[in-house]
Structure 1
């Protein structure tokens, strides 16, 4: 089965016109790739933090206890569920139970397993402290795959035979691992990879060439060297490299936190929360800032597909500026040209709910979003929605 993962996450004209458009935050509109109105799908009674697709199934994780159909039918699901990718209905045969919040999901390269990270201590009644591997077909906990984290896991990504994880922990099993670790995808065995971060790592993503892991969070140092909120380390050794992106904010005056990261080609995109939200695009090689969009609330999720950057959060009245300086209004979900940062004028769904969007998963058939919203384009669709492709 093919796999597509998010948490967390993935990605012409005249030069003068593009430059002007970048400065002004607007440009000739491009066609949106997805409908603004959601398809009928089941809703969720608590926040959805993570989405990962494996074949015809979409796996979600979060803090919930029930799914509800558009007609009011309910089924119990505890913090983990699988939905049919086409209909959005729950897969009845997949019903594992986690006793705490799930923050991150990732799929194995062969599609046989889905990995979960969070604040749970048991899954299906078996001891699995904040990390677990589950069968994508049955939901059973994978026997022998045991990697116990000492505190919450917030992000994860798979690269080759390794599952990279980040969070708040300082140990995996009895071994010291300070907020970053790597595990063998097949066995769960802890790897020697052991960079360290001074505070929580919230999101991880490999560079397009697979040589580095980009990390984002609210840390100030990595491997003892100053790196504010964003850094990259060698995927093999864990060594910090010279990639030093321009600061997202002034840490002593208005400290922020980077909640999500996406990498597409030569660009790294970050979702910034704090004193006003931002989306920032950095050169993956030099660390220079390519563009920035300012919002009036936290940006909590970013994802890239087919040259479009999708951003979600709890911004409400501003996502960039029009040529006359007025705000571009976007309500918790927006799209922009991934190369220039020019906001898509044709994609402006109205997502209602103060805490907004926390995860975005663009795919060929739909843009899937999760979070703490109550409706999309005035259609009741709580905490999970599928916006079909056009």
Structure 2
């Protein structure tokens, strides 16, 4: 009788050609933020993350330790290796005073708050453009009220895409022709307001002749991408679906 010692099971992450790939449950080193990550989108091998944070640090490094670098609300990592990438737009918001506690904003003390969280990230279907949304009022030195777009090839902020909803954008959905934005608003009869003016170019505006509708408390507004680089309002759209965001 031939006795064969038992072998431990393991994942084959690099199988021979034609063999199915398997995965491993081994822990992988991962960069950490000093706050919360609320959104992630993987595009062309890059993992984009958004949330409420001011720094990221290498695996195993304590907060404030060696190698920690600034990333404000947005960061990008190589999806295969986990390495931090140079893309580092700064999402910020103005400081304001309010007697009511703002639980989803940075509490700076003395009733002062700053709301600059990135709540959602979505890519265009072809992966050429990345849309981010939330509470912020600026991306770097450029004013972008709660929604902005980036070119994924260059990482640059789109200089023309600058709609301005007057309240938090909590959800995004993107089709080939339309960007749907779920806008937090007090009621279904509240318009996103003068921040969405009729305009030319790729600045966008609210759907003509329509007020935002709601499912629960999530009104919506939409932007439509036209042929080439032109943008125009559209009279079509959809309601949001509870906390899952809006859908085309």
Q: Same fold (TM over 0.5)?
A: yes
Pick aligned residue for 1:86 from 80, 87, 97: 80
Q: Note the C-alpha offset of 1:120.
A: 0.3
> What secondary structure does 1:259 align onto?
helix
Name the structure 1 match of 2:244.
260
| Maintained 8 Å contact 2:133/2:170 | yes
Name the structure 2 match of 1:140.
156
Alpha-carbon displacement from aligned partner over 1:87-121 (angstroms, at most 9, x marks no partner): 112112x1100001000011123322211100000
Q: What is the 5 A alignment of 1:1-390? A: 35-72=24-61, 73-92=67-86, 94-99=87-92, 100-169=116-185, 170-171=191-192, 173-175=194-196, 187-190=202-205, 192=207, 194=210, 195-197=212-214, 200-201=217-218, 237-238=236-237, 258-260=242-244
- Looking at structure 1, the residues matched to 142 and 195 of structure 2 have their Cα atoms a distance apart, in angstroms, of 19
- Looking at structure 2, the residues matched to 105 and 114 of structure 1 have their Cα atoms a distance apart, in angstroms, of 7
> What secondary structure does 1:111 align onto?
coil
Task: Give the gaps of 5 or more residues in structure 2.
Answer: 1-21, 62-66, 93-115, 186-190, 221-233
Q: Note the C-alpha offset of 1:44.
A: 1.3
Between 1 and 2, higher relative CO (CA 8 Å, sep ≥ 6) is seen in 1
Structure 1 length normalisation: TM-score? 0.40
The count of residues paired between Structure 1 and Structure 2 equals 176
Q: Note the C-alpha offset of 1:238.
A: 3.6
Change (3 A) 1:48 1:202: farther
- Looking at structure 2, the residues matched to 161 and 172 of structure 1 have their Cα atoms a distance apart, in angstroms, of 23
> What secondary structure does 2:244 align onto?
strand
Name the structure 1 match of 2:8.
none
Change (3 A) 1:156 1:90: same
| Maintained 8 Å contact 1:135/1:141 | yes
Change (3 A) 1:172 1:75: farther
Change (3 A) 1:199 1:261: closer
Alpha-carbon displacement from aligned partner over 1:262-300 (angstroms, at most 9, x marks no partner): 99xxxxxxxxxxxxxxxxxxxxxxxxxxxxxxxxxxxxx
- Looking at structure 2, the residues matched to 52 and 74 of structure 1 have their Cα atoms a distance apart, in angstroms, of 23
> What secondary structure does 2:121 align onto?
strand
Higher strand share: 1
Q: Note the C-alpha offset of 1:36.
A: 4.5
Structure 2 length normalisation: TM-score? 0.61
- Looking at structure 2, the residues matched to 43 and 261 of structure 1 have their Cα atoms a distance apart, in angstroms, of 27
Q: CA RMSD in A?
A: 3.3
- Looking at structure 1, the residues matched to 128 and 69 of structure 2 have their Cα atoms a distance apart, in angstroms, of 25
| Maintained 8 Å contact 2:41/2:121 | yes
- Looking at structure 2, the residues matched to 95 and 259 of structure 1 have their Cα atoms a distance apart, in angstroms, of 28
Q: Larger Rg: 1 or 2?
A: 2
